[in-house]
Chain A
Amino acid sequence: SQKIEQNSEALNIQEGKTATLTCNYTNYSPAYLQWYRQDPGRGPVFLLLIRENEKEKRKERLKVTFDTTLKQSLFHITASQPADSATYLCALAFEGNYGQNFVFGPGTRLSVLP
């Protein structure tokens, strides 16, 4: 069956360290993968998109990698700050029965401790 998982429900790290979040999937062939940030009571905010033929993307303190062989994406936040505390969601875009579908992972709740 098709499944998308994120490494842990919650992750606590110390301010200044690098946070690494994992997104694993099975039985999908995604065209691309996205990462979003969601704060309580608000809609998700787009962070990064990486396509199947790309290995790595960077944006400021954020870096995402995509390994279609391992069926895994890693999301890194370097020099983390308490303001980075939020839930992070990965999302796959793939061809479904009715055209392009999006499926989201369950999210990882990141807490950056001062």
Chain B
Amino acid sequence: KAGVTQTPRYLIKTRGQQVTLSCSPISGHRSVSWYQQTPGQGLQFLFEYFSETQRNKGNFPGRFSGRQFSNSRSEMNVSTLELGDSALYLCASSLDGNAEQYFGPGTRLTVT
């Protein structure tokens, strides 16, 4: 069974731009969660999508948004990028969001 895939793996953007990251979950998994990981703050929960609906949300500003498609693939968008948005963005899929999560390799975003 193929694992969670994320594209792109690396991205460099300029402050003020916007970015879209993509995540393809494990086949059959309906829940996709997004996390931001930085050396200072660790792994922080952004939001979770289940059956195309945002079901849970962490404490991030509205510049961070996402969506999920009918095939469970998910995208995360960050608008008006700030230097502090530089991080590893991880997505994780699970069957229903209430059990173990399977993480992708992450997208390394650098904002200059």
Contacts and interface: CB of A to CB of B under 8 A. Distances in A.
Nearest to B47: A98
A44 B56 contact: no
A100 B97 contact: yes
B84 to A, nearest CB: 18
B56 A99 contact: yes
A43 B92 contact: yes
A98 B43 contact: no
A49 B94 CA distance: 13
B45 interface: yes
Dominant secondary structure of chain B at its interface with chain A:
strand
Contact of A42 (B42, B100, B102, B105): B105
Contact of B42 (A43, A98, A101, A107): A107
Chain A interface extent, by class: 20 to 34
A105 B43 CA distance: 8
A46 B35 CA distance: 15
A101 B43 contact: no
Contacts of B92: 43-44
Contacts of A105: 42
Interface in B16-67: 33, 35, 42-45, 48, 55-58
A96 interface: yes
Contacts of A10: none
B100 A103 contact: no
7 contacts: A43-B92, A44-B43, A49-B100, A89-B43, A93-B98, A98-B56, A100-B55
Interface of B: 4, 33, 35, 42-45, 48, 55-58, 90, 92, 97-106
Interface of A: 34, 36, 41-46, 49, 89, 91, 93, 96, 98-107
